[in-house]
Amino acid sequence: MALFGKTAKQWRDENPGSKGNIRDEANAAQLVCLANLETLNAHFIHQRLAQAERLTLLNQTAIGQMKLLLADVGVQRLGGKPP
């Protein structure tokens, strides 16, 4: 939700012909960001932050990380894009 703006179920409902999941459609930058967000979410859960607060913080983090990752030439190369 924090990265893609929708739940996995919402994505499946919108893409009934797809056999995969939302991660299968993600680019390299999104996958890196998602891995970071999963770790951060576990940390927030350990801190006992409420779900709504975690979502807000994770969304803010996702926006910041995606800006950095999309500007990074190395990450672009991971996605098979030329610099």
Residue 8 predicted with pLDDT over 90: no
Instruction: Write the DSSP symbol of residue 81.
Output: -
Residue 67 CA to residue 21 CA, distance in Å, equals 24
pLDDT tens per residue, range 14-50 = 999 888 889 898 888 999 999 999 999 999 999 999 9
Torsion of CA 52, 57, 61, 64, to 10 degrees: 100
- For the chain, give every domain's residue range: 8-78
Instruction: Write the DSSP symbol of residue 83.
Output: -
Whole-structure pTM value: 0.81
pLDDT of residue 20: 85
Find which of 8-12, 20-24, 59-63 is predicted with most confidence, using mean pLDDT. Answer: 59-63
